[in-house]
Structure 1
Amino acid sequence: MPADYLLSVDLGTSHTVAVVVWPDGRTRPLLFDGSPVMPSAVFLDPAGNIHTGKDAERLALTAPERFEPNPKQRISDRTILLGDREIPVTAAFAAILSRVARTAIEAVGHLPNAVLTCPAAWSDQRRGALHDAAAQAGYRPVKIITEPVAAAHYYTSRLSHQVASGQPLAVFDFGGGTLDIAVLERRADGSFGVLADGGLPDLGGLDFDAALVAHIGATVKQREPEIWKRLESPSGASELRNRRELWEEVRSAKEMLSRSSVAPVTVPDMAQSLHLTRGELDQISRPLLARAIAETQRVLGLTGRRPDQLAGLFLVGGSSRMPMVSKMLHEGLGIAPTVLEQPELPVSEGAALAMTAAIPVTPPSPAPSPPPQLTAPSLGLPPVTGSDQTVQLRRGDDKTPPSPPRRGTEYKARRIPPKWIAIGVTAIVLVAAVTVGIWWFANPYKQRPFAEELREVGAAQALSGEVDEGVYEVRAVGDSSVMFYTTSSSDDSGQELHVRAVDNRSGELLWDAEQVLPGAGWSNTFFVSEEIIAFSQEVEAGAEYRFVFLDWETGEVRNTVTSWARDAARSGDLLVVGPVGGDAFEVYDAAGEQVSSWGFEEGVTVEQWNLVGTPDDIANPTARANGDGRLWIVTSNGVTHVYDVESGEAVSSKEIESVEDLYYAWDGLLYVAVDKETGYELNVYDTEDLSQEQGIGIESGEVPPAQITVCGETLVCVGDLVPETTDAYHWHVYDTDAEEIAHDFDDREYGWIEPLGNRIMAEYYAGDDIRTQIYNKNFKTVNNNLEETFDPIDGGSALTWPGRSTFGTAVGNVIGLGRDGSRTDLRIDLEVYACAPTETRLACLTPAGSQIYSFRDE
């Protein structure tokens, strides 16, 4: 039985996360009910069986008295009363660890050696409880690593942040039941030692939930006192169930307020839903978080270090997701925290990294491909170098060189004078050179070199007010960029949206439209082209939306449109809003004037819709052309429609497939993936009349199609989800010209896939990491894979930059990627709110203000 797998388990107050490390160094979180995060909940049924995770939560609705959502909080009690029986806390832990063990065995075939995590302040007695529980669950003797040490290893290894020997790092672990704070020091051997630790055992996400429930309760008590009396002091199973449902509603609303300004709360037995706003959450959170900030300052003070001496402040634990946490820590300590979108995960993987740090292993990379050969197909010239890779000189001119004579054919040799050979060779070389030169200038997929480093263009233009956690977005188009950000108003009236335009050539501010339509409900949905600037605002929760159009020259509001549709898409310089009322579309120009509209008969609603893509977007991805001016729509009566956006006229309408099928339109063709028992069919229709042009069957077992996307001028990729994952695919490349599946990307678990000029750029998973690999037209790998993800910026290159964080600034590297797989490191540890590229510039919102960077000459 292999002994070189490793299982790492973080049994938290609210959730449990487990990671398996493969022998080759790959890491992958275990999935429980399709999620890497399992509730640390237990339910004891009448037969004495302990259920865990989501099963426990579902069973809790039948008998709430038999349910414990947070057994880790009860470790001091040593026992838990569940219904009419009392069980040891270690039995609850063992049940959770048994669930993890079963899932690990399903993944790797046996139960590996394991490492568990615990708070730094836990005593030997409490750590002994973990050892006992692991033994009861059938584990071999386990290692235990403290949570802050595990988080520190993740911070330096996975996030690649530098922490020098002797430099301190603060870890702020904000979970469901407790707050744990530790300041660690990097030792000379690369390990971490705890300089000081502390925390608040009575402050966690549950306390925020309790405060929000009390806030909601004040309203319910005033309107429906009897309902609140039953919720506050439940007397039976039904009332206990209602109380739990209310807490779940409030918790969901709290999480939703991390993404929007208003969240509904359904109160059991009340006919009308209530609402929580982000302002209310912030107001309720501030006094609770003030305690957290004070405790962080106290623990840091114990080390004798100042906040500015910290290498970083790393936020982990599910409650760190609240935007107010990062904001108040930034205010209180003067340093920007680092927080991930899933802050529950780093501790578990960090523990595994700590265990394997002494013998670092990395997954094997594909062998480098041989240098590509260059052919001149229009001349019928032979390859310049021997290789199985070919670069087409002109797409669509893939002529086959003349074949050699067949065996048995006789040829009469004729001697040619050497001077004529020389003249002929010279002529061929000249013709070839001219052809290649013409091709180079006309080729939309040529690779342009990057500069040696990222250079500032002009000085940073300071922002008006401090950016809050709401909206910060950038759109770069041609010679100008538009930047959006929100600030909290001084009179508590809500968020104010700021919009500014910046010259990409000089970095100068063109205009700054402050406080555009102050109010709440701003979304991250903006539409920008060389003519249009438009964005949306929620007027009434779940109902009316306002679309605001600005003047490109001045930033002034040109028009506002109120609509009963929240979705929109930009088609060139037109904005398509719909479906309005579920069955209609409205189209507006850059001035916000309606240019067309159409709807469907009463009772017919829109099920799916999108734009028809065009190959021009492959060569100019940052131009954001967005479609060929047409829209496809599938309605509830099973009819598919194609409309001209500008005129509003129907191009074609026909009943072709089911409304539940997967649709995608590209270059005049509509692709529909139809789920079948042993796979699915990919049917192809002409958008002019919706006549079927092609069709092919794809075998995928019982796995239905999940995505369709373009991956070349004539290539469309269809992806089916890898079982038990939510974002890993096997992709099938369909060649429209050949009418066949040209390649299957199914040797790995792939992420997204897209064209990089006339090559394919595919992401794939190596453990938890996502890597990037380029493939040529023959689906051969080009150069080595890379440990970053990239976005195309033109037909021959791509770029990665710090991704937009939902919790403040993000810190990351700027790296250029050529279509030949070459990598150029442009800037390390750039701190930004958000960025957007053109072919030569990177426009960013930074803490210092708006800043334009150059990564190549124009």
Structure 2
Amino acid sequence: MPADYLLSVDLGTSHTVAVLVWPDGRTRPLLFDGSPVMPSAVFLDPGGTIHTGRDAERLALTAPERFEPNPKQRIADGTMLLGDREIPVAAALAAILSRVARTAVESVGHLPNTVLTCPAAWSEQRRATLHDAAAKAGYRPVKILTEPVAAAHYYTSRLSHPMRPGQALAVFDFGGGTLDIAVLERRADGSFGVLADGGLPDLGGLDFDAVLVAHIGETVKQRDPDIWKRLENPSGASEMRNRRELWEEVRAAKEMLSRSSVAPVTVPDMAQSLHLTRGELDQLSRPLLSRAVGETQRVLGLTGRRPDQLAGLFLVGGSSRMPMVSKVLHEGLGIAPTVLEQPELPVSEGAALALAGPAPVTPPAQVPSPPVPSPTAPLSSPPMRSGSLPPVTPGTDETITLRRNEPPKRKPKIPPKWIAIAAAVVVLAIALPIGWFWLTNPYKQKPFDEELAPVGEATAFGGEVNDGVYQVRTWDDRALFAYTTASGDASGEELHLRAVDTGSGDPLWDADTVVEGAGWDGNFYVSEDLVAFSQEVGTGEYRFYFLDWKTGEIRNTIDSTDPTAARSGDHLVIAPLGGNAFTVYDGDGETVSSWDLGNADEGVTVSNWDLVGTPEDLEHPSERLNGNGRVWAVTSDNVVHVYDVESGEVVAEKEVETVDDMYYGWDDLLYVAVDKETGYDLNVYDIEEGLSRVDEQNIESDTPAPDQVKACGEKLVCVREPVADATEVYTWRVYNPDKKKIVHVFDEVEYRYVNPLGDRLMVEEYEGDDARTQIYDKGFDPVGNDLGEQDFEAVDGGSALAWPASSGFSTTTGNVIGLGRDGTRSSLRIDLEVYACDASETRLACLTPEGMQVFSFRDA
């Protein structure tokens, strides 16, 4: 078997490209369905066969739950659910690599030695998954080269741009779904080393298509809301085709605008065509591309080099083809980028060049390929030996009889028009699921403004603040401010409350609502139709006030013997510990439901209670949705009770552990941490199944018993164990109920807090005496190159904000910093002086020395 053929595969997030290096040094891309670019998509049929590429996308229309357009993005999860079956991510990647292997064998008669590419930031664990996938697909042990290093070899070899040792090249890899940036240095031996890397995992070419579709949608919605409703939420095959046509029209218009100033857009079911202009495209694209420029500047800044000190800026990835990308990068960095007509190919070909050594410069030639059905890879496929084909799934009409070393037979050429049609279908099929995901992705990272900007004028205090109560609560487009001032009554102080419109900065009420009294409990509850707070009016006596958002008038008051309360949607649940009565109130302070637990006459009372949380809380953390409408309670007889908040009806009741254990409700599961002599048990109960136990984790640990259980992801729960003889230092164990195991332990350094940021984690780690925040992805790999100072609070599913901490007595001065899920930091304000603040998804509301002030950190 010839030893001088080489296969290079770039298995990308959205597309897969493979290049063959011939013995004479020529490089040729493999063709898949007439195109050198194959969608990296998989579909699992009911028989257990994984279909790939365009076939997977077509089958996805029949059963979208069996489809995954980007299996590479799931590599940190280990497994993924396709339909009713959970499969290893390695199996999905193996199916794609099997398809590549078949096509390579068709071309040269055997499977050559292979090099695969991967992102520079990938951990050894992720690279091991790629090795495993290649082995499953029948490859001999493969070599893995990082994508920016491969691109750098293409830049110096194929494009004949020599680089001296010590010179640096920036590689801007802009794909359909992600942006990866790396700066590499040429070494004395001719190799490349990565000086710094970064990127934006939520920014790709399809984001531009999605923005344009949304822009067109606004016009369609105004002219004919019914048409847009059908396009936005198609219910049948015909409406699905219409939606695909719209995306194709928008994509074609986007490409046309690179050549002309106006492009028509035909909207299905609309008699008159709409138009997109180059000005509209530029306006919509710039906010996205400004993020790309900012991230490029950040990564370059990590190297200590200026843009003019680079040997070049090389653009790769299919989305780099957009003329605006080069233009904005040139404007922002001051250097002219290098981009090719087919920017998808350099990574794959560059990896081949890196391993094959110098080769003559020859233009890529098309490899003939017959229009045969797409190969498939069953889950149980045995490994493919070199020189043979992977097993063919029974029932297909594929028959291949190539023998080892037998030259490929000449195949009829495919007419160019069919290649063009196939390529268009591929692009459209990819754009639909990924672009639609862009519009609905709850964890998408939104950009921050360049600086924190005041919204309107500060609303003056209604008296001289007295360092008593400082509270701010935001909800959507409103903020509630609360502060105390001195008064002439016996208590010596009074509470002032004021609501402000965060869009304009104008007060919603004509004057402060004032409540006199002492002993403030300091608990405030706000939602769409609820403004409530509690006040201690006497020893063991509390009063809850319900206000009107529009006027500030007191709607109602409720007296209680305990300040224990929790908000569930627009309802307030009040239940005294050590008592028996639960009462639920609406925004008017009127009773919605009530129930009694235990038996007061027999001394059976409520020992602990809380709401059952829901993953929706992670999408809008600043709104504090607080639960899915259920409350759990443990009575002193060790019985757990779960009730529906609105109806007051019992959902489940059962004795599971004791009142001394730690309870937590999340996503219809109840977690109980049971202390033992040498550790603890984490027991999991299914609320929907009558609190039946579904898992038990036996934790052997030398640390003290856990003191907190909390959600840290949609399907993740974190258990906090204090570290002996240390203050605010903890070990955190991360449990996944789907996998029924502890999937990670944060114990390598000193950790403080672990908080969810959408589907990622914000982890506070100690660096010396300072606590800093580091982002971790779903594979528990750190994201970004540096740690961010200050405590951050999630404001949406993709970003967090840090502001000066409230001292409780006087003003505090500090910085306001934005943090993205990709680890990027945005400095918004230096030395802001405040009493207290709270943030929504777009606004920061603060009590400042000047009064009640709203600031904007991004567009509403």
TM-score bracket for this pair, using the shorter chain length: 0.5 to 0.7
TM-score normalised over the length of structure 2: 0.54
Q: Would you say 1:730 and 2:728 are equivalent positions?
A: no
Counterpart of 2:626? 626
In the alignment, the residues of structure 1 paired with residue 817 and residue 621 of structure 2 have an alpha-carbon distance, to the nearest angstrom, of: 18
Deviation of the 1:566 alpha carbon = 1.7
Deviation of the 1:374 alpha carbon = 6.1
2:736 is aligned with what amino acid?
Answer: D
Deviation of the 1:581 alpha carbon = 5.3
In the alignment, the residues of structure 1 paired with residue 70 and residue 629 of structure 2 have an alpha-carbon distance, to the nearest angstrom, of: 43
Q: Residues 407, 396 of structure 1: CA spacing in aligned structure 2 closer, same or farther, 3 A cutoff?
A: closer
In the alignment, the residues of structure 1 paired with residue 567 and residue 511 of structure 2 have an alpha-carbon distance, to the nearest angstrom, of: 22
Q: Residues 555, 396 of structure 1: CA spacing in aligned structure 2 closer, same or farther, 3 A cutoff?
A: farther
Q: Residues 426, 447 of structure 1: CA spacing in aligned structure 2 closer, same or farther, 3 A cutoff?
A: same
Q: 2:840 aligns with which of 838, 841, 844?
A: 838
Structure 1 segments unaligned to the other structure (5+ residues) = 1-370
Aligned identity (percent) is: 53
Residues 351-500 of structure 1: matches in 2 within 5 Å? 377-378=41-42, 380=52, 400-403=92-95, 404=98, 405=137, 406-408=383-385, 409-410=388-389, 412=400, 415=411, 417=413, 419=416, 423-490=421-488, 493-500=491-498
Output one character per residue of 1:708-756: Cα deviation in whole Å (capped at 9) or x when no partner.
Answer: 1111111111121111124221111111111111111111221121211
Q: Would you say 1:691 and 2:677 are equivalent positions?
A: no
Q: Residues 553, 453 of structure 1: CA spacing in aligned structure 2 closer, same or farther, 3 A cutoff?
A: same
Contact 1:801–1:815 under 8 Å retained in 2: yes
Give the secondary-structure state (helix, strand or coil) at the position aligned to 1:470.
strand
In the alignment, the residues of structure 1 paired with residue 79 and residue 856 of structure 2 have an alpha-carbon distance, to the nearest angstrom, of: 30
In the alignment, the residues of structure 2 paired with residue 679 and residue 809 of structure 1 have an alpha-carbon distance, to the nearest angstrom, of: 43
In the alignment, the residues of structure 1 paired with residue 419 and residue 700 of structure 2 have an alpha-carbon distance, to the nearest angstrom, of: 55
Count of residues in Structure 1 that have an aligned counterpart in Structure 2: 487
Counterpart of 2:636? 636
Q: Residues 557, 804 of structure 1: CA spacing in aligned structure 2 closer, same or farther, 3 A cutoff?
A: same
Deviation of the 1:624 alpha carbon = 1.6
In the alignment, the residues of structure 1 paired with residue 467 and residue 449 of structure 2 have an alpha-carbon distance, to the nearest angstrom, of: 33
Contact 1:804–1:833 under 8 Å retained in 2: yes
Deviation of the 1:695 alpha carbon = 1.8
Contact 1:571–1:629 under 8 Å retained in 2: yes
Give the secondary-structure state (helix, strand or coil) at the position aligned to 1:468.
strand
Residues 230-249 of structure 1: matches in 2 within 5 Å? none
Q: 1:829 aligns with which of 816, 828, 831?
A: 831
Contact 1:498–1:512 under 8 Å retained in 2: no
Deviation of the 1:384 alpha carbon = 12
2:836 is aligned with what amino acid?
Answer: A
1:646 is aligned with what amino acid?
Answer: E
In the alignment, the residues of structure 1 paired with residue 753 and residue 412 of structure 2 have an alpha-carbon distance, to the nearest angstrom, of: 56
In the alignment, the residues of structure 1 paired with residue 412 and residue 838 of structure 2 have an alpha-carbon distance, to the nearest angstrom, of: 61
Counterpart of 1:508? 506
Deviation of the 1:515 alpha carbon = 5.6
2:756 is aligned with what amino acid?
Answer: P
1:407 is aligned with what amino acid?
Answer: M
1:698 is aligned with what amino acid?
Answer: I
Give the secondary-structure state (helix, strand or coil) at the position aligned to 1:737.
coil
Give the secondary-structure state (helix, strand or coil) at the position aligned to 1:452.
coil
Counterpart of 1:561? 558
Q: Residues 461, 392 of structure 1: CA spacing in aligned structure 2 closer, same or farther, 3 A cutoff?
A: farther
Q: Residues 416, 848 of structure 1: CA spacing in aligned structure 2 closer, same or farther, 3 A cutoff?
A: farther
In the alignment, the residues of structure 2 paired with residue 787 and residue 373 of structure 1 have an alpha-carbon distance, to the nearest angstrom, of: 32
In the alignment, the residues of structure 2 paired with residue 514 and residue 486 of structure 1 have an alpha-carbon distance, to the nearest angstrom, of: 11
Counterpart of 1:616? 616
Structure 2 segments unaligned to the other structure (5+ residues) = 1-10, 16-39, 44-51, 55-67, 99-136, 138-382, 391-399, 403-408
2:586 is aligned with what amino acid?
Answer: D
Give the secondary-structure state (helix, strand or coil) at the position aligned to 2:622.
helix
Deviation of the 1:767 alpha carbon = 2.4
Counterpart of 2:664? 664
Counterpart of 1:535? 533
Output one character per residue of 1:112-149: Cα deviation in whole Å (capped at 9) or x when no partner.
Answer: xxxxxxxxxxxxxxxxxxxxxxxxxxxxxxxxxxxxxx
Deviation of the 1:682 alpha carbon = 1.2
1:410 is aligned with what amino acid?
Answer: L
Contact 2:486–2:494 under 8 Å retained in 1: yes
Deviation of the 1:434 alpha carbon = 2.6
Q: Would you say 1:593 and 2:570 are equivalent positions?
A: no
Give the secondary-structure state (helix, strand or coil) at the position aligned to 1:517.
strand
Q: Residues 715, 530 of structure 1: CA spacing in aligned structure 2 closer, same or farther, 3 A cutoff?
A: same
Contact 1:564–1:580 under 8 Å retained in 2: no
Deviation of the 1:833 alpha carbon = 1.2
In the alignment, the residues of structure 2 paired with residue 831 and residue 374 of structure 1 have an alpha-carbon distance, to the nearest angstrom, of: 46
Deviation of the 1:677 alpha carbon = 2.6
In the alignment, the residues of structure 2 paired with residue 416 and residue 797 of structure 1 have an alpha-carbon distance, to the nearest angstrom, of: 53
Q: Residues 372, 667 of structure 1: CA spacing in aligned structure 2 closer, same or farther, 3 A cutoff?
A: farther
Give the secondary-structure state (helix, strand or coil) at the position aligned to 2:384.
coil
Deviation of the 1:763 alpha carbon = 1.0
Counterpart of 1:219? none
Deviation of the 1:461 alpha carbon = 1.2
Contact 2:635–2:659 under 8 Å retained in 1: yes
In the alignment, the residues of structure 2 paired with residue 799 and residue 416 of structure 1 have an alpha-carbon distance, to the nearest angstrom, of: 60
In the alignment, the residues of structure 1 paired with residue 14 and residue 742 of structure 2 have an alpha-carbon distance, to the nearest angstrom, of: 26
In the alignment, the residues of structure 1 paired with residue 679 and residue 41 of structure 2 have an alpha-carbon distance, to the nearest angstrom, of: 38
In the alignment, the residues of structure 2 paired with residue 700 and residue 748 of structure 1 have an alpha-carbon distance, to the nearest angstrom, of: 16
Residues 9-20 of structure 1: matches in 2 within 5 Å? none
In the alignment, the residues of structure 2 paired with residue 423 and residue 492 of structure 1 have an alpha-carbon distance, to the nearest angstrom, of: 83
Counterpart of 1:814? 816
Q: Residues 372, 684 of structure 1: CA spacing in aligned structure 2 closer, same or farther, 3 A cutoff?
A: farther
Q: Residues 791, 396 of structure 1: CA spacing in aligned structure 2 closer, same or farther, 3 A cutoff?
A: farther
In the alignment, the residues of structure 2 paired with residue 402 and residue 762 of structure 1 have an alpha-carbon distance, to the nearest angstrom, of: 33
In the alignment, the residues of structure 1 paired with residue 480 and residue 743 of structure 2 have an alpha-carbon distance, to the nearest angstrom, of: 41
In the alignment, the residues of structure 2 paired with residue 801 and residue 552 of structure 1 have an alpha-carbon distance, to the nearest angstrom, of: 26
Deviation of the 1:421 alpha carbon = 5.2
Q: 1:786 aligns with which of 788, 803, 809?
A: 788
Contact 2:753–2:764 under 8 Å retained in 1: yes
1:634 is aligned with what amino acid?
Answer: V
Residues 165-204 of structure 1: matches in 2 within 5 Å? none
Q: Would you say 1:578 and 2:578 are equivalent positions?
A: no
Q: Which moved more, 1:377-386 or 1:693-702?
A: 377-386
TM-score normalised over the length of structure 1: 0.54
Query: RMSD between aligned alpha carbons?
Result: 2.8
Deviation of the 1:770 alpha carbon = 0.9
Deviation of the 1:594 alpha carbon = 1.8
In the alignment, the residues of structure 2 paired with residue 663 and residue 506 of structure 1 have an alpha-carbon distance, to the nearest angstrom, of: 43
In the alignment, the residues of structure 2 paired with residue 654 and residue 571 of structure 1 have an alpha-carbon distance, to the nearest angstrom, of: 23
